[in-house]
Amino acid sequence: MTGAPLRLAALLALLAASPAAASSQWGGSYPYPVPLGLQPPPVPDADPVTGAKVALGKTLFFDKRLSRDSTIACATCHDPQKGWTDQSPVSTGIGGQKGTRSAPTVLNAAYMTRQFWDGRAASLEEQSLAPIENPVEMGFTHAGVVRRLSGIAGYAPLFKDAFGDDRVTIERVAMAIASFERTVLSGNSPYDRWKAGDKGAMSPAAIRGYALFEDPKRANCAACHSGPDFSDSKFHNLGVGAGGTDEGRAAVTHDPADAYAFKTPTLRDLADTAPYMHDGSKKTLAEVVDFYDDGGIKNPHRDPKIKPIGLSDAEQADLVAFLGALNGDPVRISAPPMPQ
């Protein structure tokens, strides 16, 4: 491995290993305010967030020319008008090809310690480049993207503003898209306002649902859906897809114990991100709650945390009400003009 691939590999390793902590609302390494209920997301020292880099990343995120046939952009499968997903059981790439998984939301992806349902990417930078070379998704090459963008005069000033000169590299493409994605944050939900002291922000049903959610002897959802983003960023086998060809985390680790384990998704803004599960097999939150109440699907590697609960219909409805209270302020972003 020489040249650009070596530089890219070194950069991705550095980005995965060196997150800079941000502890205040404004954050020393994160230059924007964050919604109520969140802390500034971690930012790698090697890829500081700047306004110019975010502006470039936003443009790249919406640019279909990053795909081989110029029909698919990042925003195609992660549409801001659809909860930053495509609201489909599986995504559609170039030539109408169908993928095998539901597109996870970009909302609050900055807080995840691993990216993709199987965690194969260690950073947003690494994640942003993978779809480009996926033959089903964007079907292009990194070298092809660099050549194409280098030939678009309108990109030169954007790269210069972001990086100090107008040179296009795949590393810079990754850094810009990741910087933009770190600004896609959802918070200030009824739950956040309730936690901040507004006791009328959540309905009585949602408050009851929250108690069930947290109770280790009842629903115990918080065992995996923990922290401000309601995800432990870990991988759990619920039985969804067990016995099929998509082995989830095991395809990355090659450990049989990880068979059919998939990453815990955020629970924020679920109103916009149906269908649910990695394969889009659950159409409603009521179906999801009922699935968990039944204890998932038995298989040799089912997570021991997943077991029958025995909630009443009213309790399940309360849980759904609480999940609805996690819908924050809509993050609606329109595509910028494309450079020519």
Specify whether 137 is catalytic. Answer: yes
Please compute, for residue 339, the number of CA atoms within 13 A of its CA located in the half-sphere on the CB side: 21
Looking at residue 27, its pLDDT comes to: 39
Residue 51 lies in a domain: yes
7 and 122 assigned to the same domain = yes
Looking at residue 166, its pLDDT comes to: 98
Q: Which of 126, 137, 171, 181 is catalytic?
A: 137
Residue 217 lies in a domain: yes
Q: Which of the four pLDDT bands, split at 50, 70 and 90, describes residue 29?
A: confident
Q: What is the mean pLDDT of residues 153-160?
A: 98
Which is higher by pLDDT, 224 or 8?
Answer: 224
200 and 172 assigned to the same domain = no
157 and 32 assigned to the same domain = yes
144 and 24 assigned to the same domain = yes
Looking at residue 21, its pLDDT comes to: 38
258 and 219 assigned to the same domain = yes
Q: Which of the four pLDDT bands, split at 50, 70 and 90, describes residue 24?
A: very low
Looking at residue 153, its pLDDT comes to: 98
Residue 340 lies in a domain: no
pLDDT surpassing 90 at residue 338: yes
Looking at residue 329, its pLDDT comes to: 94
CATH number at residue 258: 1.10.760.10
Choosing from 138, 156, 181, the residue where a domain stops is 181
Q: What is the mean pLDDT of residues 251-278?
A: 97
Residue 75 lies in a domain: yes
Lowest mean pLDDT among 19-23, 74-78, 133-137, 183-187: 19-23
157 and 194 assigned to the same domain = no
242 and 273 assigned to the same domain = yes
222 and 79 assigned to the same domain = no
Looking at residue 11, its pLDDT comes to: 63
Looking at residue 25, its pLDDT comes to: 39
What is the number of structural domains in the chain? 2
pLDDT surpassing 60 at residue 233: yes
Looking at residue 22, its pLDDT comes to: 37
With 0-12 / 13-18 / 19 or more C-beta atoms within 10 angstroms meaning exposed / middle / buried, residue 55 is middle
User: Residue 334 is encoded by which pair of tokens?
Assistant: 């329109």
156 and 198 assigned to the same domain = no
Choosing from 181, 213, 229, the residue where a domain stops is 181
Please compute, for residue 135, the number of CA atoms within 13 A of its CA located in the half-sphere on the CB side: 0
**Mean pLDDT for the chain?**
93
155 and 250 assigned to the same domain = no
Cβ of 16: how many Cβ atoms within 10 Å?
17
Cβ of 95: how many Cβ atoms within 10 Å?
12
Residue 338 lies in a domain: no
Q: Which domain holds residue 130?
A: 3-181
User: Residue 5 is encoded by which pair of tokens?
Assistant: 């691939």
Q: Where are the alpha helices (DSSP H) in 20-154?
A: 51-62, 74-77, 124-133, 142-150
Choosing from 136, 158, 181, the residue where a domain stops is 181
195 and 134 assigned to the same domain = no
Residue 335 lies in a domain: no
φ/ψ (deg, to 5) at 327 = -80, 120
φ/ψ (deg, to 5) at 17 = -100, -10
User: Residue 42 is encoded by which pair of tokens?
Assistant: 């971690």
Q: What is the mean pLDDT of residues 274-289?
A: 98
DSSP 281: -
Q: Which of the four pLDDT bands, split at 50, 70 and 90, describes residue 14?
A: low
pLDDT surpassing 60 at residue 137: yes
Residue 330 lies in a domain: no
List of residues 6+ apart from 2 with CB closer than 8 A: none
Q: What is the mean pLDDT of residues 114-138?
A: 97
151 and 65 assigned to the same domain = yes
